[in-house]
Structure 1
Amino acid sequence: MGLVKASEEYLCSSLSSDSAIDRGDASSAELAGRLQDLEKELISTKCELAKVMNRQSSYQELLVQREDAIRFLEGRLDTSSVSELAKTGSGKSSSKNDKDLQERLRVLQNQNKFLNEEVKKLAKLRETDRNSFYQQEEKIRTLEAEIEKWKLDYVLLIQSSIRFPTGDSVEDAELILFGGDRHKIRIKRLLEEARRINPGLPTYESLSNQEVHVDSYGFRHKFEDQSLLLHYLCQELAQHYLSQAGTYEEHQKRWTHFMRQHGKSVASHPKELKPLCRGGIPDRFRKQVWRQLVHFKCKDIMEEKGPHYFRNLCSHLPDSPLASQYRKQISLDLMRTMPSNIKFSAPGSKGIMDLQDVLLAYCCHNPTIGYCQGMNFIVGMALLFMDAQDAFWTLVAVAEKFFSNHYFDQNLIGAQADQQVLKDLLAHRLPQLYRHLEAIDIELSTVTLNWFLAIFFDAVPFMV
């Protein structure tokens, strides 16, 4: 009853959680304290359940012994009755022994009946305790999930408090928070707690000392501004909490089940694959899924050109006039692709060399399209998860299969058409925003064209 009452009080307190963040009435320490009390009561319940189970085992052993004694006495009674009746002159003594045995038998039967009733009561009590135990565990899981949700909401709220008062320059960022250092202390505490589960998360101390943090994708992060530092930490915490959510675990299980069944032919099951992809492809399956989808889309071209087509193109690059035509522009874009990524940060790195080979090879493969700015981001993204040959076929699939033939040509006809479609959608779906952009004379395509050409590479968070 104490746990249920504590749980009800705790859940009722969630109605004022938003204001509690400002007042400091419901800190993470208090929530953890309440959770610890619930865990102590759960441990106590487990101990009581163990005692009941021990008592039940003792009663069952005693019951077995009594039943054995009853069977033994019944056998003796039958044997004594036969032998005493066979003897002459001993009827009186036999009758007395028979009565004694019958009395003992009656006593044992009563004891057996009593013990049976006790065992039934203990079994019922054990079932009740087990149900109570499961209910308490479920309540604890619910409370823990609620706490994690509050943590996620909190870091998202902090993350949304960043402002750029003098423009869109990163150097002008300000994180507008009230309460002094209270929020910074909370973020540090949440980060330390999260690092116990995911040690790959950065530490506040290292980033505040302007040390470089390299994330799981190879991107380097270094901050001189405290506002941007806190904003980045909130972003990392939000991603951590999302990865710990029950919905994320369920999504991972569905992917694992799908890959076990169809891992060698994912493209042959589009009805099952589409909703999974829309929920996000886990990093551990991304290379395999991307590779199979690209090969499925380019199957006809790959069969026509042969398995060594990409290597043959690369071997002819030094003497190819088609490659020479685009070499200068491609060289200018190589270091602009992902300058903050360790794979593409040095001119002679393997990532840069593979990126150059793929882009030049495509110019030779399809001279009608050649090279278009935006292709470097598509290939760079592919190279983070695949080798150069698969990245080449990824570019072929995007430029020739997924998009029209005129999407990446010199006039960008297909991409320009998409800008008009986006503009019409904006006027239909978000008329107020559309009228605002028209009033201040903003041409939407000047902002969004690169989004489409690079497939939203730098327009949305990288993990998306």
Structure 2
Amino acid sequence: MYGSDTDDEEMYQSESPAPQYTPREADLESLRPVATEPPLPPVEKRDRYGFKKQTQYITLAEYEEWEGRYNGDLDRRRKKWEQLLRESGLAPGEGGPVRFPPKSNKIKRYVRKGIPPEWRGAAWFWYAGGQKFLTKYQGKYEELVNSPTLPSDSELIERDLHRTFPDNIKFKPDPPPGVTRMSKLQEKQFETPMLQSLRRVLLAFALYVPKIGYCQSLNFLAGLLLLFMEEEKAFWMLYILTQTHLPGTHELNLEGSSVDQWVLMSSVRDSLPHIWQKIGGGLDGSEVDMSSTKLPPVTLCTSSWFMSGFIGSLPIETTLPTVLKLYLESL
């Protein structure tokens, strides 16, 4: 009723195990995992200081190519500096050196060729004589930080504060998810510790040096120092820089800045006459008489070079040795 014996036999045969199949070597080869190269590490989009690598002048790929060569140079320079320190009895500890050999032609040559990035702050502070101020005026910075500030200085500082290194994540963090541009209220809300340190340094400086108070470009000078040293050290370095190495440059009448520009323009006129022909004239095309106090209009641009120590005018890796040379060679 439910099927014949023949049907049962066919069913039994269909449930029998399939014949064994021995794969060929070629088949096995296709099943073996293919060896692949390990994934490349993600490309860092910021440099060791927190600045964006890619700018309007250089692509990320170009920066990476340059950085590979530059890191090799840094390794070689670090070994030479380590040898120099050992010869001077100043072998660096785990945290790097805190003392350096006395100024000499050899030291100047080493500085010009470059110093390890992680040692820069200590080298600046040492060659500027910062420890002397830190010891002599112990507690002064804290006293200034806790003192009332002048509203006029505070207003100027707040105006420039968030304009300081806007492409550096230590001063301006990336906006929150879903936000393309932060408002002033959000900037205040998401202030970084570095930016708060910068505010304190500038306010303390304005109190301590009233003949300067606050002047544009001081935010960049102090900000750069804060990338390499503690807050109090950055304050004294800013004081030394403005009083010893760039005297009068940031005062209200900008007399020091005018002198710097006169020297620069005179040097260009005497040494680069073909350049002077292009930049030495007035807006009306007439030649500027350098014997008078009148300066060419181009100095409206070049004055910022001196006031900011070339920060923002040169690539950061070019600016940093320039700052150390200023501390080392101007005395």
Q: TM-score, normalised by structure 2?
A: 0.67
Superposed displacement of residue 231, structure 1: 3.5
Shift of 1:334: 0.4
* Match in the other structure for 1:313: 144
1:291 aligned partner: 125
The aligned residue for residue 107 of structure 2 is 273
CA distance in 1, matches of 2:260, 2:82: 36
Distance 1:267 1:358 in 2: 29
Q: Does 1:256 align with 2:110?
A: no
Q: Structure 1 residues 276, 222: closer, same or farther in 2, change over 3 A? A: closer
Query: Within 2, Cα distance between the matches of 1:238 and 1:409?
Result: 39
CA shift, 1:220, in A, is 3.2
Distance (whole Å) between structure 2 residues aligned to residue 374 and residue 308 of structure 1: 26
Q: Alpha-carbon deviation of 1:229?
A: 8.4
- Deviation by residue 1:130-150 (Cα, 9 ceiling, x = unmatched): xxxxxxxxxxxxxxxxxxxxx
Q: How does 1:103-252 map to 2 (within 5 A)?
A: 201-202=43-44, 213-220=45-52, 228=56, 231-245=59-73, 248-252=74-78
The answer to whether the 8 A contact 1:298-1:401 is kept is: no
Pair 1:426-2:282 in alignment: no
Q: What's the CA shift for 1:369?
A: 1.8
Task: Give the distance between the partners of 1:401 and 1:229, measured in 2 at CA.
Answer: 34
State the alpha-carbon separation in 2 of the partners of residues 280 and 440 from structure 1.
39
SS at match of 2:162: helix
Q: Does 1:386 align with 2:240?
A: no
Match for 1:419: what amino acid?
A: Q
Aligned counterparts of 1:387 and 1:240: Cα–Cα separation in 2: 29
Q: 5+ unaligned residues in a row in structure 1: which ranges? A: 1-194, 203-212
Question: What is the one-letter code of the residue matched to 1:397?
Answer: I
In 2, Cα distance between equivalents of 1:352 and 1:297: 22
Q: Which residue of 2 aligns with 1:359?
A: 202
Q: Could you tell me how far 1:274 is from its partner in structure 2?
A: 1.6
**Identity between Structure 1 and Structure 2 (%):** 26
Partner of 1:374: 217
Match of 1:120 in 2: none
Counterparts of 2:259 and 2:51, CA distance in 1: 33
5+ residue gaps, structure 2, are 1-38, 91-96, 173-186, 284-295, 319-331
**Aligned partners of 1:374, 1:267: CA distance in 2, in Å?**
31
Deviates more, 1:442-451 or 1:248-257: 248-257
CA distance in 2, matches of 1:311, 1:239: 39
Cα distance in 2 between the residues matched to 1:375 and 1:265: 27
Alignment TM-score, normalising by the size of structure 1:
0.49
> Secondary structure at the residue paired with 2:163?
helix
**Closer, same or farther in 2 for the Cα pair 1:267/1:358, shift >3 Å?**
farther
What is the rounded CA distance, in whole Å, between the counterparts of 2:54 and 2:71 in structure 1?
24
Equivalent residue of 1:266, what SS? coil
> Which among 379, 392, 396 is matched to residue 239 of structure 2?
396
What does residue 301 of structure 2 align with?
Answer: 447
Of 155, 158, 163, the residue aligned with 1:336 is 163
Per the TM alignment, residue 427 of structure 1 is displaced from its structure 2 partner at its CA by 1.2
Q: Distance in 1 between matches of 2:228 and 2:83?
A: 22
Q: Determine the C-alpha separation between the residues in 2 that align with 1:449 and 1:396.
A: 20
Q: Is the 8 A contact 1:298 1:396 kept in 2?
A: no
Q: What secondary structure, in the 3-state scheme, does the structure 2 residue paired with 1:268 have?
A: coil
Deviation at 1:383, TM superposition (A): 0.8
- CA contact 2:85–2:101 (8 Å) conserved in 1: no
1:108-127 CA-partner distances (Å, limit 9, x unpaired): xxxxxxxxxxxxxxxxxxxx
Provide the C-alpha distance between the structure 2 equivalents of 1:236 and 1:357, rounded to a whole number of angstroms.
Answer: 35
Match in the other structure for 2:314: 460
Name the CA shift for 1:377/1:267 in 2 (closer, same or farther; >3 Å).
farther
Greater RCO, CA 8 A, separation 6+: 2
Residue identity in the other structure for 1:235: Y
Q: What is the deviation of 1:327?
A: 0.2
SS of aligned partner of 1:220:
coil
Is this contact kept in 1: 2:305–2:311, CA < 8 A?
A: yes
- Quick one: distance in 2 between partners of 1:402 and 1:229? 31
1:435 aligns with 2:263: no
- In structure 2, C-alpha distance between the alignment counterparts of 1:270 and 1:313, rounded to whole Å: 36
Deviations 1:125-175 (A, max 9, x none): xxxxxxxxxxxxxxxxxxxxxxxxxxxxxxxxxxxxxxxxxxxxxxxxxxx
8 Å CA contact 1:298–1:397 kept in 2: the answer is no
